[in-house]
Amino acid sequence: MAGPFRIRPANRADAPGIAEAERTCFSDPWSEDGLASLFDNSTGVALICESEGPVLRLAGYVFARVIAGEAEILNIAVLPEFRRVGLGSGLLSAALDDLQGRGASSVFLEVRESNDEAKRLYGARGFRAVGVRTDYYRKPRENALVLRLDYR
């Protein structure tokens, strides 16, 4: 991960900034209320990446959860001006470590079929396609690929 960045657990005070980033990064963003519910959930993992400097700036975030040994990456995003310097893979690795520490043996996620950047990010980390959910996404309507990673 290049540059002066740090990853830390997110908290409720981060929700407005993350909601704004959601609107920048996704066509069907999570609401602030939806995000806040993640912080109230003990099964949840919420990490943010900030660029350090005179002013801390939100650069990216990841949400995940683990239930009965099975984990799910719920969302990951990096703000456009911070992309392609390794923050996405840094956030993903931090979340995977956290989930493993909470007892996960496998991790699932959904990704839009057309999202080549994200598919490469996940593929590089060892995720493999195990299914398709037809018309899973809205705005625009699109199939989801279901990806899976098993810890060894």
Q: Are 46 and 61 in contact (CB under 8 A)?
A: yes
Q: How far is the CB of 151 from ligand COA (least distance, A)?
A: 20
Using the rule CB under 6 A, which residue among 8, 120, 128, 133 binds ligand COA?
A: 120
Using the rule CB under 6 A, which residue among 99, 111, 145, 149 binds ligand COA?
A: 111
Q: Which is nearer to ligand COA, 99 or 121 (CB)?
A: 121
**For the chain, how far is it from start to end, CA to CA, in angstroms?**
24
Using the rule CB under 6 A, which residue among 117, 130, 131, 132 binds ligand COA?
A: 117
**DSSP annotation string for 48-74:** EEEE-SSS-EEEEEEEEEEETTEEEEE
Does residue 78 interact with ligand COA by CB under 6 A?
yes
Taking CA atoms, 114 is separated from 23, 38, 111, 142, in Å, by: 19, 27, 8, 8
For residue 19, give the amino acid letter.
A
Does residue 129 interact with ligand COA by CB under 6 A?
no
Residue 82, both tokens: 């911070």
Instruction: Tell me which stretch binds ligand COA (CB under 6 A): 6-14, 38-46, 87-95, 98-106.
Output: 87-95
Q: Which residues bind ligand COA (CB under 6 A)?
A: 25, 76-78, 83-89, 111, 115, 117-118, 120-121, 124
